[in-house]
């Protein structure tokens, strides 16, 4: 996935950093992420989908109620303008293998614990209760986007007493979509952050994010211009699409195979480079950075005027 995108991510980091206003949180917390979401019962047994036939990614934005309740009319208008513009940009540079329709997401479990039955299951069995939030509780997802779920009410594993959660049927799902982006506006407590984002759910066959969120920080937006918020949202959407250090171990190659045999080692995906004279506002200094080194990045880089 994403030969052109990998180059854009480097550009994007540079352009955001140069403004020196927005501080990105960058990290992907483990509790935000649901791995192994099965897109349909048929996909359990289907051969690995061809990763070599990507199509332009189809986004479905979903604005959370907090965008209306927590932001003023100017902020709301700006968010509602910026998000479609950013998604439109990404759909011209990101291609993915089409996602089987409709997309249905997994419910989270209170306390995070769930049982994985032998042979797997498309229905999640929570140790305690099923809930309709995801991404560590940041986003509340409409029932219509969610699969049903079974809850085992913290009963002993030796005598499990499980019952269907509510509702007890799957939602209709989201048709003709590769990625659902939830947009929220919860106040932020960390520094001058204007927005933060993460991937939330990864499908089981290629470990590709199929849902994520961007949260805009209404208490920090202040006099932010539309153009600047566009750049911030663009940067954050990269994170929502899985461009975070902790997810790089899950990246696949162009054949759909894991790039690394272990989820602890990612030497063929990133490397560290030490710059003796890294330009800063206070003058050059020594600086070590972590950079992408996938085949696509190296190929694009070698063809770039920057490096010739």
Q: Does 259 bind Zn ion (CB under 5 A)?
A: no
Is 22 assigned to a binding site? no
Instruction: Report the nearest approach of Zn ion to the CB of residue 83 (Å).
Output: 17
Binding-residue total with Zn ion (CB under 5 A): 2
Catalytic residue among 236, 286, 295, 300: 236
Please tell me the distance from the alpha carbon of residue 234 to that of residue 211, in angstroms, as a whole number: 16
Of 24-32, 80-88, 100-108, 277-285, the segment contacting Zn ion by CB under 5 A is 24-32
Query: Could you tell me if 140 and 133 are in contact, meaning their C-beta atoms sit under 8 angstroms apart?
Result: yes
Closest by CA position to 6, among listed 253, 195, 276, 261: 253
Instruction: Return the H-helix or E-strand segment holding 200.
Output: strand 195-203
Query: How many C-beta atoms lie closer than 10 Å to residue 137's C-beta?
Result: 12
Q: Does 248 bind Zn ion (CB under 5 A)?
A: no
Q: Length of the chain, please? A: 308
236 is catalytic: yes
Instruction: Report the nearest approach of Zn ion to the CB of residue 197 (Å).
Output: 8
Return the number of the residue (13 or 186) whose C-beta is nearest Zn ion: 13
The residue within the footprint of Zn ion, chosen from 24, 57, 195, 210 (CB under 5 A), is: 24
Return the number of the residue (26 or 259) whose C-beta is nearest Zn ion: 26
Instruction: Report the nearest approach of Zn ion to the CB of residue 238 (Å).
Output: 7
Is 145 assigned to a binding site? no
As a whole number of Å, the end-to-end CA separation of the chain is: 25
Q: Does 198 bind Zn ion (CB under 5 A)?
A: no
Query: How many C-beta atoms lie closer than 10 Å to residue 129's C-beta?
Result: 17
Helical H runs in 166-286? 218-221, 226-240
Instruction: Return the H-helix or E-strand segment holding 65.
Output: helix 65-70
241, two tokens: 């699409």
Q: Does 26 bind Zn ion (CB under 5 A)?
A: yes
Q: Does 237 bind Zn ion (CB under 5 A)?
A: no
Catalytic residues: 236
Which residues sit at the interface with Zn ion, rule CB under 5 A? 24, 26
Binding residues for Zn(2+): 235, 239
């Amino acid at each position: 996935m994403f030969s052109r995108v990998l180059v854009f991510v480097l550009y994007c980091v540079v352009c955001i950093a140069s403004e020196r206003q927005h501080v990105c949180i960058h990290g992907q917390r483990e509790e935000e992420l649901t791995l192994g979401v099965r897109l349909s019962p048929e996909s359990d047994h289907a051969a690995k989908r061809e990763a070599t036939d990507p199509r332009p990614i189809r986004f479905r934005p979903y604005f959370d109620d907090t965008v209306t309740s927590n932001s003023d009319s100017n902020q709301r208008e700006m968010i509602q303008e910026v998000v479609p513009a950013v998604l439109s940009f990404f759909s011209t540079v990101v291609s993915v293998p089409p996602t089987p329709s409709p997309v249905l997401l997994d419910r989270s479990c209170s306390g995070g614990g769930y049982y994985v039955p032998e042979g797997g299951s498309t229905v999640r069995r929570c140790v305690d209760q099923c809930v309709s939030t995801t991404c560590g509780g940041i986003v509340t997802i409409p029932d219509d986007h969610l699969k049903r779920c079974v809850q085992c009410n913290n009963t002993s594993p030796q005598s499990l007493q499980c019952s269907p959660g509510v509702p007890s049927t799957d939602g209709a799902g989201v048709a003709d979509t590769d990625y659902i982006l939830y947009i929220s506006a919860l106040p932020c407590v960390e520094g001058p952050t204007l927005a933060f984002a993460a991937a939330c759910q990864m499908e089981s066959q290629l470990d590709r994010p199929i849902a994520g969120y961007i949260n805009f920080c209404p208490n920090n937006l202040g006099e932010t211009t539309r153009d600047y918020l566009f750049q911030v949202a663009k940067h954050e959407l990269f994170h929502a699409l899985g461009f975070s250090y902790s997810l790089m171990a899950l990246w696949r190659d162009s054949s759909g195979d894991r790039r690394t045999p272990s989820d602890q080692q990612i030497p063929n995906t990133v490397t560290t480079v030490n710059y003796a004279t890294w330009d800063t506002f206070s003058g050059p200094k020594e600086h070590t950075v972590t950079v992408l080194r996938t085949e696509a990045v190296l190929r694009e880089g070698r063809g770039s005027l920057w490096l010739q």
